[in-house]
Amino acid sequence: MRRAKPGREERERTMKRERKGALCMLLCAALLAGCAGTAGQEGAESASASEPAQTLEGTVLDITDESLIVRTSSGQEYVLKLDGDEVPPEAEILTGAHVTVTYDGVLSGIGKNVNVLRVEASEAEAVEDASTASTVDGWVTKESGDTVTLCAASGTEYTFSIAQAARRLNGRLTEGDWVRVTFDGDDGDVQNTRVREIAHAERTQDCYWLRAEVRRYDPDEDVLTVRTMAREERTMDLAHTQVEMAEPFEPGQDVDIAFFWGAGEEDGVREIRPVRVVDAGARDTEFYAVVEAYDEDSGALLLHMADGRVLDTWITQKLEPKDGLDKNDGVWVRYTGWLEGTDLSTMKITNVETQDKGLDNESSVAGAVRAISEEGFTLASTDGRTLRFTQLAAAQSLPENIAVGDDVRVYYTGWTGSEDDAEDTQHAEAAHVTRILR
């Protein structure tokens, strides 16, 4: 029996089925092509991932949970994105640290096209005990975006990384500034030192201020002669001294002088090394001291300065730091007027700032080692005292490679000096001893 021809509705249903079939075939083809492309892409990514990761070393300029800014030894800076798991939990990566960054990708521009895998503290060569927290004093002769160079009193120049140093400096660093650099390492090579701190001279524990009257000034020799409030006449070379005067030096003019004690002595007067001269009263002056006792009811305050002077003074309650004042606290005392020896008659304290609390606070004294024995060691300090540290202190703090005659800095807790004896060390316990660069 012959089939009847399909009607119009049936023909339309047949055409729809054929179009659906064709569409399915096209979709399948597209999916197959997509799978092939994905497989190719995965293969390419696998090949990329198989390439060895790369590393860069540098100094951390800034680090947060989201980013790391690092500067290489060539001065190139990179801003790298972090996801939060690149730094090991036990690691303490801080600004100024030397790090090794492991990454994949192409390091170009400022570092946006890389994937950071790990950030680790660089393994530096071990620094001998005598070169840990070494110091050098000098005036800045050159400052650039990468390094700072200073010249010590001996004429020797030392160069340090500004990435490490400038970010530990309060205030601006300019040529001519007297500064102290504290670092790990026994030379000034940028690659072999780890800078801990850089401080203006006036903000170091063994820098002091005195007020004096100008007697005469030789502009050709740049030599100033003054008479102190203790009636001592002193002559000093200002060749590398910062002078900030409104008018030229004139006889009878009063000035404030920031200074370090020098190594020499003439006619019983200790030499001083000036670092700054300003008009008298032009700025608040300050000194560092350690608290022996404080009575919060009366405000009575007993302080020991770093050169052995003992100051029996007082403060108002509003000047007491928020965390109080306790025995062995290290403090910075700002004042107006002048301080000569232990004469406090014109001195008015305007601020007391805590450096560190109790036995967490360390003071330091510089000098030359004069003797070493089983009982301890003896230091001829630059402020003219002879300080003897006990066997316990020596056993804990004196490195084996320190010898008689070495210039050193002794870090200690507590204080030196008493009202009767500026050389008294019974309340000082040395923490460690390190070399000084001259």
Instruction: Write the secondary structure of 369-397 as one string of H (helix), E (strand) and C (coil).
Output: EEEEECCEEEEEECCCCEEEECHHHHHHH
pLDDT at 210: 95
- Report the percent of the chain where pLDDT is more than 90: 49
Ranking 283-287, 314-318, 367-371, 413-417 by mean pLDDT, the lowest is 283-287
- What number of CA atoms fall less than 13 Å from residue 56's CA on the CB side? 27
d(CA 191, CA 161): 8
pLDDT at 145: 64
Q: Is the pLDDT of residue 166 over 80?
A: no
Mean pLDDT of 356-379: 92
- Report the percent of the chain where pLDDT is more than 70: 78
- The CATH number of 363-437, from 2.40.50.1020, 1.10.1370.40, 3.30.1230.10, 2.40.50.140, is 2.40.50.140
Mean pLDDT of 220-229: 96
Name residue 293's beta-bridge partners.
302
Contact 323, 360 (CB under 8 A): no
Q: Is the pLDDT of residue 73 over 80?
A: no
Contact 68, 114 (CB under 8 A): no
Q: How many other C-beta atoms lie within 10 A of the C-beta of residue 430?
A: 27
Task: Tell me the pLDDT band of 412, cut-offs 50, 70 and 90.
Answer: very high
Contact 207, 383 (CB under 8 A): no
Task: Tell me the pLDDT band of 74, cut-offs 50, 70 and 90.
Answer: low
Mean pLDDT of 382-391: 89
Find, among 186, 239, 233, the residue nearest to 434 by Cα. 186
Q: CB-based contacts of 99: which residues, under 8 Å, 6+ apart?
A: 57, 58, 59, 60, 70, 93, 119, 120, 121, 122
pLDDT: which is higher, 140 or 59:
140
Q: Is the dihedral of CA 352, 356, 361, 362 positive or negative?
A: negative
Mean pLDDT of 117-144: 77
Q: Which helix (H) or strand (E) holds 28?
A: helix 8-49
Task: Tell me the pLDDT band of 399, cut-offs 50, 70 and 90.
Answer: confident
Q: Which fold has domain 54-121?
A: OB fold (Dihydrolipoamide Acetyltransferase, E2P) (2.40.50)
Ranking 71-85, 147-161, 287-301, 399-413 by mean pLDDT, the lowest is 71-85
Can you list the alpha helix ranges (DSSP code H) found in 160-303? 162-165
pLDDT: which is higher, 434 or 213:
213
Q: Which fold has domain 129-203?
A: OB fold (Dihydrolipoamide Acetyltransferase, E2P) (2.40.50)
pLDDT at 70: 82
Q: Is 372 exposed, middle or buried (0-12, 13-18, 19+ CB in 10 A)?
A: middle
Mean pLDDT of 254-267: 87
Ranking 110-119, 227-236, 277-286 by mean pLDDT, the lowest is 110-119
d(CA 303, CA 293): 7
Q: Which range among 68-82, 87-101, 192-206, 214-228 has the greatest average pLDDT?
A: 214-228
Task: Tell me the pLDDT band of 192, cut-offs 50, 70 and 90.
Answer: low
Q: Is the pLDDT of residue 361 over 90?
A: yes
Q: Is the pLDDT of residue 239 over 70?
A: yes
Q: Is the pLDDT of residue 144 over 90?
A: no
Q: Which fold has domain 208-279?
A: OB fold (Dihydrolipoamide Acetyltransferase, E2P) (2.40.50)
Q: Is 319 exposed, middle or buried (0-12, 13-18, 19+ CB in 10 A)?
A: middle
Q: Which range among 19-28, 195-204, 249-258 has the greatest average pLDDT?
A: 249-258
Q: What is the mean pLDDT of the chain?
A: 81
Q: How many other C-beta atoms lie within 10 A of the C-beta of residue 114?
A: 19
Strand positions, DSSP E, 85-164: 98-105, 114-121, 134-143, 147-151, 157-161
Q: At 48, phi and psi to the nearest 5? A: -65, -40
Contact 244, 256 (CB under 8 A): no
Q: At 141, phi and psi to the nearest 5? A: -105, -20
Q: Is the pLDDT of residue 2 over 60?
A: no
Task: Tell me the pLDDT band of 111, cut-offs 50, 70 and 90.
Answer: low
Mean pLDDT of 27-35: 45
Sequence ranges of the domains in the chain: 54-121, 129-203, 208-279, 285-357, 363-437
- The CATH number of 285-357, from 2.40.50.140, 3.40.50.970, 2.30.42.10, 1.10.600.10, is 2.40.50.140
Q: Is the pLDDT of residue 28 over 80?
A: no
Mean pLDDT of 186-203: 73
Contact 201, 180 (CB under 8 A): yes
d(CA 302, CA 322): 18
d(CA 172, CA 39): 58
Residues 305-335 have pLDDT tens digits of: 999 999 999 999 999 999 999 999 999 999 9
pLDDT at 401: 82
